[in-house]
Amino acid sequence: MDYLNTHFYPGENSASFGYSGTNYDPAKDTLVYALGGLGEVGKNMYCFEHDDEIIVVDAGVKFPDDELLGVDYVIPDYTHLIKNKEKVKALIITHGHEDHIGGIPFLLLACPIKKIYAPRFAKALIEKKLQERKRLANTEVIEINGDSAIQTDHFRIGFFNTVHSIPDSLGVLINTPNGRIVETGDFKFDLTPVGQNSDYQKMAYIGAAGVTLLMSDSTNAEVDGFSISEKQVAQAINDIMKKTTGRILISTFASNVNRLAQIIKAAKKCGRKVVVFGRSMENVVEIGMQMKTIDVPEDTFLSPELVNQYPPEKLCIVCTGSQGEALAALSRIANGSHKYVKIIPGDTVVFSSSAIPGNALNIGGIVNQLMRNGARVLENSALSSLHTTGHASKEEQKLMLQLIKPKYFMPMHGEYKMLKLHADSAVETGIPKENCFICANGDALVLHEGEVYRSNTRIQTDAIYVDGNDISGLSTSVLKDRKILADNGLVAVVVCIDSRSNKILCKPGIVSRGFVYLKDSQTLIREAEGLVYDALRNAMKQKVTFGDLKNCIKNTLEPFLYEKTNRNPIVIPVILNHVDAMRKDTAAK
């Protein structure tokens, strides 16, 4: 526990609270900010900066909403880290879920990081992910646990075990020159957990020693009481396995390793062979078997090709698709397009999950299709206990606050309403309202001699849309262009020039699509053509490039059209050069 006594200054009740953000001293003060994870569920990424060092905790992705067609992932904007890449000393991972590790390949592509510290199960998932993308060569993935410690020039970092829906989940203790920070990662309190228990003693010891700032998971801030134990879910699944006479299909989150382990053990106990469908689930089961997190003999599993040759009462099919995803295994089974499995009367389909907000309609459609094909469908309810969350409910969040006893509090990992409700809970436990900070991505908190205040500093942050492996931002700009086209249309400006004499050969022509109705807007179009013509003539009194001409057209036309119509169409300049001038240019080359 010696890391508790390193780099910590007790927070005297000094006049430094409210210390002006304009006087932030990067050499003396410690900056805390998020590039993702605030005001949203997903793409978690939290940064701790002091002088010439930045420590990054988690690097996740967010999966796109239904309206983001063609987008595979949403990741944070890494611009700040790219500009300060020499400062980034380490990436620390709290656990192996995609909203905490999914962005690592994209981050390493943009900002090389030599060392990633991750708990055992997350380390295996990260290494598999990086090997698939061939990006492991210059990065060392170092295994950590609840007893590990990391030392840099300005930070000393320790860890404590937490319970989540994936093994080897950690909270993080960060000692800085200006105070002590606890970042919980995703957690819940389960008094009868599957796997390791929460390290209550260490959390209480940390709290007794004094914590300046607590950053805590807010995902279930709207849920009252305590969440049910994973052991209760295991018992419910066992009961279904025993009582069901036909084939069982169970769909859950691929990332819920503890749940998968319980399902597979129950199947083995009831004499059923297990078939796994869904690439992400197959990967997790493979790693779980290697690490004995899923501890069953190899012959528990059946090859997919043999699924229709085995007695239905001796089969358990575990698959992805619990959220109604269109291309997931369960959706394909329901609509009859799966290669190996089709629903037959007498099948029992179990949803060992709860609907993520926004997915209820998709799930309802799958349930209807399954029942139409003759299946019995069981969903989670207050009576069935087929699922429990991996995130702390309201009373568990209060327990964390009581154990850590922070002076200041910053709720994280949640939409705004979740952050606000979590902050309200913190006030209920005795933290002054003025000491609770509800932040957005890019907002910065400053630690100064044991006090915390908001900084006027704001870090550049945005959502970057990824299509395939592209993180250039091109996908982002394409989607923004689609939005502009949908709302405002486009205006194309066609200009004929002779680059030999640097002259315009005729007045520009303007073509509009989806912006204004041309027959009713002739006056506006003629005025715009004249304005562009005058601007180009003035510009071409000097030697200009094609790029200069395009910028001149945009800079002239865009403010004029907005002034006249209050709309911002995409302006596309088209420059046509005289054929003899083009031949001359080609010959010169």
Three-state secondary structure readout of 437-505? CCCCCCEEEEEECCEEEEEEEECCCCEEEEECCECCCHHHHHHHHHHHHHHHCEEEEEEEEECCCCEEC
Tell me how far apart the alpha carbons of residues 573 and 509 are, in angstroms, rounded to a whole number.
10
Averaged pLDDT for residues 54-79: 84
Tell me how far apart the alpha carbons of residues 114 and 111 are, in angstroms, rounded to a whole number.
10
The per-residue pLDDT for 588 is 52
Of residues 391, 413, 422, 448, which has the active-site annotation? 391
Q: Supply 373's token pair.
A: 């094909």
Residue 275, pLDDT > 50, answer yes
Q: Supply 532's token pair.
A: 């562009």
Tell me how far apart the alpha carbons of residues 335 and 370 are, in angstroms, rounded to a whole number.
8
391 is known as an active-site residue: yes
Q: CA angle, 328 as apex, 323 and 333 as ends, to 5°?
A: 105
Of residues 29, 99, 199, 217, which has the active-site annotation? 217
**What 8-state DSSP symbol labels residue 115?**
E
The per-residue pLDDT for 297 is 93
Q: Whole-prediction pTM value?
A: 0.77
Tell me how far apart the alpha carbons of residues 338 and 257 are, in angstroms, rounded to a whole number.
24
Lowest mean pLDDT among 12-21, 184-193, 544-553: 12-21
Q: Considering the chain, what percentage of its residues have pLDDT values greater than 70? A: 89
**582 in Cβ contact with 498 (< 8 Å):** no
Averaged pLDDT for residues 349-374: 88
Residues near 225 by beta carbon (within 8 Å), at least 6 away in sequence: 393, 394, 395
Averaged pLDDT for residues 27-38: 94
Between residues 458 and 451, the one the model is more confident about: 451
Three-class DSSP category at 571: strand
Averaged pLDDT for residues 130-159: 90
Residue 482, pLDDT > 80, answer no
329 pLDDT band, cuts 50/70/90, is: very high
19 pLDDT band, cuts 50/70/90, is: very low
Give whole-number Cα distances, 32 to 126, 227, 326, in Å. Answer: 25, 30, 39
Averaged pLDDT for residues 68-96: 89
Q: Residue 465 pairs with which residues in a beta bridge?
A: 74
Given the DSSP bridges, would you call strands 140-144 and 509-513 parallel, antiparallel or unpaired?
A: unpaired
Q: Supply 293's token pair.
A: 């997190």
* Highest-scoring range by mean pLDDT, 303-312, 519-528, 576-585: 303-312
**403 in Cβ contact with 171 (< 8 Å):** no
Residues near 492 by beta carbon (within 8 Å), at least 6 away in sequence: 510, 511, 512, 513, 572, 573, 574
Lowest mean pLDDT among 26-35, 193-202, 373-382, 435-444: 373-382
SS (H, E, C) 11-75: CCCCCCCCCCHHHCCCCCCEEEEEEECECECCCCEEEEEECCEEEEECCCCECCCCCCCCCCEEE
Q: What is the largest CA-CA distance in the chain?
A: 89
Lowest mean pLDDT among 170-174, 176-180, 380-384, 563-567: 380-384
Residue 215, pLDDT > 50, answer yes
Per residue in 110-132, pLDDT tens?
Answer: 888 989 999 999 999 999 988 88
The per-residue pLDDT for 412 is 97
Number of residues that this document lists for the chain: 589
Structural domains of the chain sorted by starting position, each given as residue range(s) with its CATH number in brackets: 2-225+389-466 (3.60.15.10), 230-378 (3.40.50.10710), 489-588 (3.10.20.580)
543 pLDDT band, cuts 50/70/90, is: confident
Tell me how far apart the alpha carbons of residues 115 and 4 are, in angstroms, rounded to a whole number.
23
338 is known as an active-site residue: no
Three-class DSSP category at 191: coil
CA nearest to 167, candidates 201, 221, 124, 203: 124
**151 in Cβ contact with 176 (< 8 Å):** no
CA nearest to 119, candidates 196, 37, 39: 196
Tell me how far apart the alpha carbons of residues 566 and 135 are, in angstroms, rounded to a whole number.
47
Residue corresponding to tokens 């550049």: 460
Q: Residue 458 pairs with which residues in a beta bridge?
A: 443
Per residue in 152-180, pLDDT tens?
Answer: 999 999 999 999 999 999 999 999 999 99
Mean pLDDT across the chain: 87
- What H or E segment, with its residue span, contains residue 377? strand 376-378
Strand arrangement of the beta sheet that strand 315-319 belongs to: 273-277, 315-319, 248-251, 348-351, 376-378
Phi and psi at 436, nearest 5°, equal -105, 130
Tell me how far apart the alpha carbons of residues 166 and 261 are, in angstroms, rounded to a whole number.
10
Tell me how far apart the alpha carbons of residues 377 and 244 are, in angstroms, rounded to a whole number.
12
Residues near 137 by beta carbon (within 8 Å), at least 6 away in sequence: none
272 pLDDT band, cuts 50/70/90, is: very high
